[in-house]
Amino acid sequence: MSDDPNFMRLALALGRRGLGTTWPNPSVGAVVVEPGTGRILGTGATAPGGRPHGEPLALAAAGEAARGATLYVTLEPCSHHGRTPPCTNAILAAGIARVVSALEDPDPRVAGRGYDLLRQGGVAVETGLLQDQAARDHIGHVTRVTRGRPAVHLKLARTRDGFCASAGPERLRITGPVADGAVHLWRAHADAILIGIGTARADDPSLTVRLPGLSGRSPLRIVLDTHLRLSPASVLARTARDTPTLVLTTRSAPAHARRALEALGVEVATVPVDAAGSIDLPAALAHLGERGLTRLCSEGGPRLAEALAQADLIDTCTLVTGPVELGSAGGLPALGPALMQALAGDRFREAERSQLGPDEAVTYERNRI
């Protein structure tokens, strides 16, 4: 039986560790293996900030031993001069005999050209190994290239009877520590966390990664705030110099509110409004894509979730259901009609179901059509 899938699994695991740190570039894993013996000669993954790429790092680790070896790589090697020289050149110069790749890069500057250049250079190229997993890991890069915006992972926690908050001002704890740990890991693997001003005002969250060993991995925090109501006294504003905060607002934002937030280190950017007078979501996400963001974790409330569903901007959705019930007291329903319809329809499929302590998490993925 071929060991190819095992080496590709290793390359995928190496790439996955860097998710959230390499934007605007994808986090690519690479492994150089001696044919016959299966000895691992070198490994690499895209460095923080997006360069060097994973392939040259793995080739450098292998050194002269890379001559005649097999390279496993999670994404088609780049063939264009970007901020770094093309990886195809490095692979040919190293004398790699065979390349096994998981996913073709849809970037029009590459899109099959990387494979062609390698084949023309006499390298045996095999593609599509563990492609589904690679597509999941590289969803940010693929979505930014094909849709011009970051991929959106929507997360919502709800009570067993379907509410995401109580009716009154008191904060409702829905999930336990295991689920909270999972949320922090999603945050660490995101380029940015997105919320609406409703959540910022109700919960005054810090939206940082508080997992042992990953505390340096807090991503950018983004608030959608049409009229710039984010308080300078909020945690997000007060800690903006430690963990960057970006507020997307509109022309209606008062200048004094902008000055007060900017004085604290908050970045304020103006984006277009939609017909209803709110921030235009497709335009806001396109703006974030232009900035190079590839992976967004949406942790806003039901209004933002519903608006994302209405605009068909959700790529992955995780619903975490806790054991709490609000009963006749009721509260704020977690799922609006558009989100409910989207998850029940054929645009999404259930991809994973897991028990996180007392809470159950179900993840839905957009069908690739």
Ligand X SMILES: NC(=O)c1ccc[n+]([C@@H]2O[C@H](COP(=O)([O-])OP(=O)(O)OC[C@H]3O[C@@H](n4cnc5c(N)ncnc54)[C@H](OP(=O)(O)O)[C@@H]3O)[C@@H](O)[C@H]2O)c1
Catalytic residue positions?
A: 55
34 near 9, Cβ under 8 Å?
no
User: Among 41, 45, 19, 23, which Cα is nearest to 32's?
Assistant: 41
Cis amide linkage into residue 219, ω under 30° from 0: no
Please tell me whether residue 359 binds ligand X under the rule CB under 6 A.
no
What is the footprint of ligand X within residues 3-42 (CB under 6 A)? none
Which position among 181, 303, 351, 357 is part of the footprint of ligand X (CB under 6 A)?
A: 303
Kindly state whether residue 197 participates in binding ligand X, applying the rule CB under 6 A: yes
Closer CB to ligand X, residue 134 or residue 197?
197
Which residue's CB is nearer to ligand X, number 227 or number 238? 227
In 3D space, the residue among 31, 30, 27, 76 whose CA is nearest the CA of residue 50 turns out to be: 27
- Does 300 bind ligand X (CB under 6 A)? Our answer is yes
Check residue 179 for interaction with ligand X (CB under 6 A). Answer: no
301 is in an annotated binding site: yes
CB nearer ligand X, residue 11 or residue 332: 332
Please say whether the beta carbons of 338 and 344 come within 8 A.
Answer: no
Q: Quick one: which of 19, 58, 157, 261 contacts ligand X (CB under 6 A)?
A: 157
Of 77, 61, 79, nearest in space to 69 by CA:
61
Shortest spacing between CB 333 and ligand X, in angstroms: 10
Q: Closest CB to ligand X among 4 and 274?
A: 274
Contact 164, 339 (CB under 8 A): no
192 belongs to the binding site for ligand X (CB under 6 A): no
Residue 207 marked in a binding site: yes
Rounded Cα distance between 31 and 136, Å, is 19
Tell me the CA distances in angstroms from 358 to 171, 234, 321, one per residue in order: 19, 31, 9
Residue 39 among known ligand-binding residues: no
Query: What binding mask, one character per residue, do residues 247-266 give for ligand X by CB under 6 A, x or -?
Result: --------------------
**In whole angstroms, what is the distance from residue 165 CA to residue 171 CA?**
7
227 binds ligand X (CB under 6 A): yes
- Under 8 Å between Cβ of 44 and 62: no
- Where does this chain touch ligand X (CB under 6 A) — which range of 97-105, 117-125, 199-207, 358-366? 199-207
Rounded Cα gap, residues 281 and 299, in angstroms: 15
**Residues near ligand X (CB under 6 A), total:** 28
Stretch that binds ligand X, among 2-10, 89-97, 260-268, 300-308 (CB under 6 A): 300-308
Segment interacting with ligand X, rule: CB under 6 A, options 22-30, 37-45, 258-266, 294-302: 294-302
342 is in an annotated binding site: no
Interatomic CA distance for residues 289 and 147, integer angstroms: 9
Among 26, 140, 196, 219, binds ligand X (CB under 6 A): 196
The answer to whether the annotation marks 203 as part of a ligand binding site is yes
Question: Which residues are annotated binding-site positions for substrate?
Answer: 187, 203, 207, 210, 299
Residues of the shown chain interacting with ligand X in the complex, contacts defined by CB under 6 A: 156-157, 164-165, 174, 195-199, 202-203, 224-227, 229, 278-279, 281, 299-304, 307, 332
